[in-house]
Amino acid sequence: MTDAVQNENVQEENKLIAERRAKLDHIRKSCKANGHPNDFRREHLAGDLQAEFGEKTKEELEELNHVVAIAGRVMAKRGPFLAIQETSGRIQAYAAKDVQKELKEKYQGLDIGDIIGVKGALHKSGKGDLYVNMEEYELLTKALRPLPEKFHGLTDQEMRYRQRYVDLIVNEDSRHAFIIRSKLVSAIRNFMSSKGYLEVETPMMHVIPGGATARPFITHHNALDIDMYLRVAPELYLKRLVVGGFDRVFEINRNFRNEGLSPRHNPEFTMMEFYQAYADYKDLMDLTEEMLSTVAMDVLGSTSMPYGDETVEFGGTYARMSMFEAIKHYNPDHAEIQALTEEDLTNRDKMVAIAKSVHVEVETFWTCGQLLEEIFGETAEPQLIQPTFITGYPADISPLARRSMITHSSLTASSSLSVVVK
């Protein structure tokens, strides 16, 4: 977009805002509650009405004469019909000629983005769409700023993140993602509680940052006159609860890491962390597997989830392999990797040679464990599509993990779950 076009768009928007402010001044002078009434009560949701009455015929609805009260944002105007949108979906409102005249006199007309309340009988149009006859109505909030142009919507990625409220108004996919996320968190919480885990809340401000290797945000506690650190992980406090006698604990919490920023990495993020006594990492893999399949079915109604060109299957048994096994599995034609043994994992010269052969730029200070992780990240991890547990992480990059009692002592008894990482 050229500067001239952008300036023209800004001027047009300012003109529309000025027109809407003039309407608001008129409304404040002529309507109750200074133009912001709060006595309208919504009694029905668009989604519920569509589900209950969407299949009924026009004649059946006229016979029922079912009176409803809806409220929402005006998203489109098509002649006498207004498309009203709220959390559950959309439904139309019908303004007869006398109502249209009243709207003009009372509010100087309605604009896209205005929030209104409508009460009247439910009917069906000739096209088969449900609508509410505007027998009673009230402008609840006047929108001063115009919404993005309807055909292109809000496509500016930066604006979508900075003005998320506008994104939610105009993009159904964004609203759907918010709803699914809320249901996911609730389903996870219910699952963990059903397994005997106690949900807890641990401190968000720490005297010493711990639980993860990350740069913390620093704040100051005025009453104590000390610097404190925003939580980078809840690990230490959760472990203290296990020591205190709670065998199973979990927390869904906000964490803060003063590091990179991208659409996939936010310094402030939500995570769930849980701990269980009298169990090992294999038990936790079983629990995670069951949790994901249960939550997927509860929230999505299916354990299969489309992701780009792939379909991820959260049901059934997940693949389990060590990092060493994964490297071998996904490099069948690499003779040096196929000849590699667990004892070779501590041979730095051999690991450096293999890393360079798969185009890893090796740093001089890397340990054998770091080299193994880099080889895995370069050759195996991008090929993990379906849920896969990766075990046997190198001990020198997992300082808090228990050493393996079965495999080579340079590996740990730990696991992580990978899904669609390419």
Instruction: List, for residues 114-134, the tens digit of each pLDDT value.
Output: 999 999 999 999 999 999 999
Average pLDDT over residues 402-419: 74
3-state DSSP assignment of residue 70: strand
Q: What is the pLDDT of residue 150?
A: 56
Confidence (pLDDT) at 155: 66
The answer to whether residue 376 scores a pLDDT higher than 90 is: yes
Q: What per-residue string of b and e applies to 315-331 under the rule 16 or more CB within 10 Å gives b?
A: eeebeebbbbebbbebb
Rounded to an integer, what distance in angstroms lies between the CA atom of residue 388 and that of residue 381?
10
Instruction: Name the residue with tokens 């519920």.
Output: 48
pLDDT averaged over the chain? 91
Secondary structure (3-state) at 57:
coil
CA distances to 90, 162, 180 from 266, in Å: 33, 13, 20
pLDDT digit string, tens, across residues 155-195: 677 777 788 888 899 889 999 999 999 999 999 999 999 99
User: Which among 394, 384, 363, 327 is positioned nearest to 336, based on CA atoms?
Assistant: 327
Q: How many helices (H) and strands (E) does the chain have?
A: 13, 17
pTM (2 d.p.): 0.85
Question: What is the C-alpha to C-alpha distance for residues 76 and 111, in angstroms, rounded to an integer?
Answer: 9
Q: Which pLDDT band, with edges at 50, 70 and 90, does 11 fall under? A: confident
Percentage of the chain surpassing pLDDT 90?
Answer: 76
- 153 or 140, which is more confident: 140
